[in-house]
Structure 1
Amino acid sequence: MTTLSAHDLVLPAASLGEENPLPPLRSQQELHRVENLDALPADLAENIRYGGLRSMLPCLDQDGYDRELVDQALPSLVLENDHVRATVLPSLGGRLYSLVHKASGQELLYRNPVLQPANLALRNAWFAGGVEWNLGSTGHWTGTCSPMHAARVDGPDGTPVLRLWEWERTRNLVVQLDFWLPADSELLYVGARIQNPSSDVVPAYWWSNIAVEQSEGTRVVAPTDQAWRFGYDRGLALVGVPEYDGIDLTYPMRHGRAVDFFFEPEPGEAPWIAALDAEGNGLVQASTQRLRGRKLFVWGEGQGGRNWQDWLSPGLSGPGYCEIQAGLARTQMEHLKLPGATSWTWLEAYGRLSLDPAIAHGEWGDARAGAGTAVGGLVGDLGEREREWATIADAEPGEPLFRGSGWGALELRRTGWSVSSGTPFPSETMGERERAWLPLLDGQLADDAGTPDGTLVAWNDLLEGAEDNWLVWYHRGVVRWYHGDEAGAIDAWQKSGDNPWALRNLATTTSDLAAYVRAVELAPEVAPLAIEAVNAALDVDLGTAGRILDRLPAEVAADPRIRLARVRYLLVTGQATDAEKLLDEGIDLATVREGANPLAEYWRQTQEQLGTDRPVPARYEFGMH
């Protein structure tokens, strides 16, 4: 018997805080940059060149979180039969948080005991553990810390299916996930569909990121003899599997630094990947052919990699986790072309694989062949299973279990597009944020004194034709900038007038420090604005930087990002003793970025200025490479 039920999952969790009101006019620096394109196969290079995003708009950054862990009750939906228990978090991107094999008692995923956001996603906030579903563009998707719609659907066999769906805002795509656990199954099936409701070709990207516990004996096995190695050095290189650089790369804990291995698919092989422990037991993920890419990611066993694991799981006692991943393309740097009015579907299967440890940890050819045979016997004909699932993929949702956003309903109102009856976006799902845009369909936008929401960059024609006011001019500027009309954007923000939001955009795009100073005067309580202004001033005018720092409200001045900026100010003004004092007091920089290491950098600069050589404290060392 299969059951589907709702529960509160109580976890120590940090607050996500408020969204950053400042529009992300440029994307955060993406670590997955490839610069040796001319050395790559033509199709791989073409896919990498295609489909990059100019910014995350209309989404806003989620950078208001902290590192104070407090017990919180998180909504969870549990799908369970006699063999498997799956726990899904609908409020957090539909994350498959836990997958337990009941007979053995084994947790097949890395189940993070806390929820601690960190700066790793396209919108900043991301958390480790479970299976994350990534749609949109290279990186952790914009919905990873946002709610999805959830409802019960009757499965092909009469068992309950958990359906999640949502509108992906940067590409205007619909994502659907159907979690199906037949009554007698030891496998959890996840039917996935992405719909392009528009008539335009849209860049498509998908990776299922699967966190699994690692140990000294963990080995990752996949049907391949080659992999594209990416070491965060802006180049892809095809290497052999399993031997690379003097180690067996298939053992995650043998790597000293962070690295990606995108396994090159073998022609004719069914796509799958498994992470097996020293006894040959662990998780296998398999899929139908559309999801052909497979990857291994490790943080590395260096100080930076260990710090990142501890940062994401405070109080971590074990060796942490690695990730095995599955995607539409061979690598995560690629985007594919999804035609207009088209859907792509595939089926994923998750379950426990047991293999003779002598085979699992033997010669690579024997390991991959033995695992392949075992996987085939476990998963059977996934194509047939996908055809079964397809019979209910368009079934209207039944009992509602969780409400996602109203952005899909708003976009359907604007465009008149059609989506599957299985993923409806009724008007009643629109909340205050979405309804605020409805008057623009009639050429008007309310002229209030509030903080502007993220600009709907696809609404450019409506904004250009709307009745003028400061808010319309503000949004026009953002849309023009997004679409590459920089001069038009600056003109629009100038016409928007003396408000902190337009002034900030002018300051960001024209390096007008006076505009930053005025923006902070008008909105001194907005910490992200103060942080930007101080760091901009530090580049050109130390006196202005000092005045901004001295005039900030106490609550903003206490923000760790402002404290870090103050350390920088003290260093460039020759006050290394005071900088060292601040660093010794401790700066808990919640938003430290993957690939960035400012705390260690400033520590070293401080020691150099003081003529001392105190080593960088371990808590400040986040360098992965």
Structure 2
Amino acid sequence: MGRGVSAVYLDTVRLPVAALGPDNPLPPLGAPKLVTPMVDTLAADPEMARNLAYGRPRTLLPYTVQDGYTRDLTDRDVPVAIVDNGILRAEFLLDFGGRMRSLVHLPTGRELLHRNPIVQPANLALRNAWFAGGVEWNLGTTGHTALTCAPLHAARVVRPDGVEVLRMWEFERGRELVYQIDAYAPAGSPVLYVHVRIINPNQHEVPVYWWSNIAVPETPDTRVLAPADAAFHLAYDGVLRRVPVPTYDGIDRSYPTRAQHAADYFYDIAPQRRRWIAALDGDGTGLVQSSTDQLRGRKLFLWGQSTGGHRWQQWLSPPGHPYLEIQAGLARTQLEHLPMPAGARWSWLEVYGLLTADVAKVHHHDWDTACAGTEEALHELVPRHVVDAELDAARQWTDQPPTQRLHSGSGWGALEQRHRGTDGDHSLDLPGTPFDTDTLGCEQQPWLALIDTGDIPAPPSRATPGSYQASPGWRQRLEHARDNWFVWLHRGVARWHAGDTDAARDAWHASLNATANPWALRNLAAHDLHAGNAHNAASTLLLAGTMLPYMRSLAVETLQALLVADRPTEALALVDRLPPHLRAHGRIRMLECAAALAASRLDRATRLVDTGIVVADLREGEDALDQLWFAYHDLRADSGTATEDHPLPCLYDFRMT
């Protein structure tokens, strides 16, 4: 493509992909879990302390959990959108949150991002499924967005000056926000512009979280630079520390390969400084990201050089493709939410490009010299005033209707528009980000019936519920619907999300009284677990399992409850009743091994440990496998079996510290 042309078009890329599989139909009634629970926030100033305590959601509802994937890769054609101006070529995965998978500097052929050669989900996101690489757009609550493995709407927009723009948008159901990502590269531009807008269509304040997570290649001489002399450091001990940059504890942490363990470094950038972060190699070249001032935070995440860190890298990306992340967010850390006023619209502009800086300055021992040299090169690439002016100019076209639809996201925005419109609320009638009625699908049908008729027909009692609604507006509709077991089930879910746990329990009992069903039983078991009654919860889950004997997620929850209730023999008996394909599932094998150890069944535990346990959805920070390994060898020693010190094998080493 010529250097004078800017274009947006569709393409496909053939990739090995592990299919997501079906969503887990059980509503996620627990609170979202931080990878690193905070135990010490004394380093936070008053503003940060307020943001840390603000905005935590009670559940992930109305979303369901994406845990149906495996580690089996199959080649498939994946739809992508391309932004190309002859200098930069950016590739966006439309079925995976609009992630920018690749950014190539065409004159040199250099890939600026960690372009993962596979799409392998793993348990790192709010809804479980996440994959490594590229630039991920995170809106919602602390963690990887609920839409990271979901399709977005996409269209081509042609600006008044003829520049083609890739527009991606969606309705984020957890916070009930609309977000819009406009990516473009004008003719001759050495940087990709990404204009982001968040719209709060509600008549109330909403807690907001945004981080652009940028994966870049990690080499032995990569240096990460940002205009700060201090950072808020979070390791996996739950302590937030304010530490000097770049050298902390005798190690220059701006070179990520010198750090042993996984950690976050949130740079404390002074308000007047330009916002930027760069990952530059031994020659002083690499990716730079900068933005207008509203995108305040910058962060370095690294896996570290421990066995566990290397294991995680190879779990997510093939060997030989190490990466780190440089990130940018609205707050100073990823542990915070910011209050977004009713009806507000927030916009900022990000830029991405190849930076070539003076190598002697980039790798200078004096940090101020290194940062000044990097910022000088950034100014040559794209001056700060140019980025600010581009944001100002964007106001002329961000509401411009799409020129051509390229891809469809979910039907939830169209449903919400219908839901609000019946009450005269037209806050989702947004010409720049239309939610067309032809995007409504099967998941939305019960809720359309509730809008149109005031009722939801009850399906057979073992039919999968499929989807949920939990906002106050939808809860009100549910409370006024005609009673049946299905309506009572959903009333309970909405009440639980609102924090009315006793009323939720009453609704689920009413659902059971109307029609015996496994879904209400499972939710009542969750209520018992919440109340600390693991014994009752386990018994209730066993009963639900008689109605759904082939549901993996229910079997997993039942085994977990039996172990908490100290009923390992019953857990082993349940495993024995499961069909072979469920018994072979990695998480069930792990729970079976834990039950065998608790029941002193060394023979059974040995068979499982020796043949290998691979848990496809092992959660980031989860220490179940290493605890299992050491508990197994402790039991062998107690039983009189000769044993010596047994270091944790790489297969089971996912330790973050």
Does the pair score TM above 0.5?
yes
**Which residue matches 2:640?**
none
1:460-499 aligned within 5 A: 460-497=475-512, 498-499=516-517
Aligned residue pairs, count: 623
Indicate yes or no: 2:651 matched with 1:619: yes
Provide the rounded CA distance (Å) in 1 between the counterparts of 2:569 and 2:650: 33
Provide the rounded CA distance (Å) in 1 between the counterparts of 2:351 and 2:630: 48
Pairwise CA distance, 1:376:
1.6
- Choose from 307, 318, 340 the match for 1:338: 340
Provide the rounded CA distance (Å) in 2 between the counterparts of 1:616 and 1:265: 40
Provide the rounded CA distance (Å) in 1 between the counterparts of 2:465 and 2:208: 29
Indicate yes or no: 2:111 matched with 1:107: yes
Provide the rounded CA distance (Å) in 2 between the counterparts of 1:407 and 1:164: 15
Deviations 1:239-289 (A, max 9, x none): 111110111111111110011000001231110110000000000000001
Q: CA RMSD in A?
A: 1.2
Indicate yes or no: 2:372 matched with 1:369: yes
- Choose from 386, 397, 402 the match for 1:397: 402
**Which residue matches 1:431?**
441
Deviations 1:539-591 (A, max 9, x none): 22233323321211222222111111110111111122321221221222100
Indicate yes or no: 2:285 matched with 1:281: yes
**Which residue matches 1:546?**
572
Pairwise CA distance, 1:431:
0.7
Provide the rounded CA distance (Å) in 1 between the counterparts of 2:252 and 2:470: 47
Are the equivalent residues in 1 in contact too, given 2:569–2:595 (CA < 8 A)?
no
Q: Does the C-alpha gap of structure 1 residues 399 and 531 become closer, same or farther in structure 2, counting only changes over 3 Å?
A: same
Provide the rounded CA distance (Å) in 2 between the counterparts of 1:602 and 1:390: 56
Provide the rounded CA distance (Å) in 2 between the counterparts of 1:149 and 1:275: 31
Provide the rounded CA distance (Å) in 1 between the counterparts of 2:614 and 2:267: 37
Letter in 1 for 2:70: D
Provide the rounded CA distance (Å) in 1 between the counterparts of 2:363 and 2:242: 23
Is there any run of 5+ residues in structure 2 with no aligned partner, and where?
Answer: 529-533, 638-642
Provide the rounded CA distance (Å) in 1 between the counterparts of 2:106 and 2:11: 19
**Structure 2 counterpart SS, 1:457:** coil
**Which residue matches 2:414?**
409
Provide the rounded CA distance (Å) in 1 between the counterparts of 2:521 and 2:344: 41
Letter in 1 for 2:373: G
**Which residue matches 2:427?**
418
Provide the rounded CA distance (Å) in 2 between the counterparts of 1:340 and 1:317: 48
Letter in 2 for 1:481: W
**Which residue matches 1:325?**
327
**Structure 1 counterpart SS, 2:339:** strand
Indicate yes or no: 2:6 matched with 1:2: yes
Pairwise CA distance, 1:604:
1.2
Deviations 1:138-189 (A, max 9, x none): 0000000000000000035312110000011100001100011101111000
Letter in 1 for 2:527: T
Q: Quick check: 133-142 or 431-440, which moved more?
A: 431-440
Deviations 1:576-613 (A, max 9, x none): 23212212212221001111121221111111111223
**Structure 1 counterpart SS, 2:277:** strand
Provide the rounded CA distance (Å) in 1 between the counterparts of 2:313 and 2:493: 37
Pairwise CA distance, 1:44:
0.5
Deviations 1:403-430 (A, max 9, x none): 0001011111112342331011122211
Q: TM-score, normalised by structure 1?
A: 0.98
**Structure 1 counterpart SS, 2:546:** helix
Identity within the alignment, %: 47
**Which residue matches 2:198?**
194
Is there any run of 5+ residues in structure 1 with no aligned partner, and where?
Answer: none
Letter in 1 for 2:618: V
Provide the rounded CA distance (Å) in 2 between the counterparts of 1:561 and 1:246: 40
Provide the rounded CA distance (Å) in 2 between the counterparts of 1:598 and 1:70: 29
**Which residue matches 1:45?**
49
Provide the rounded CA distance (Å) in 2 between the counterparts of 1:155 and 1:66: 43
Indicate yes or no: 2:89 matched with 1:71: no
Pairwise CA distance, 1:39:
4.8
Pairwise CA distance, 1:38:
4.8
Letter in 2 for 1:601: Q
Letter in 2 for 1:446: P
- Choose from 363, 368, 381 the match for 1:378: 381
1:200-279 aligned within 5 A: 200-279=204-283
Q: TM-score, normalised by structure 2?
A: 0.93
**Which residue matches 2:531?**
none
Pairwise CA distance, 1:81:
1.4
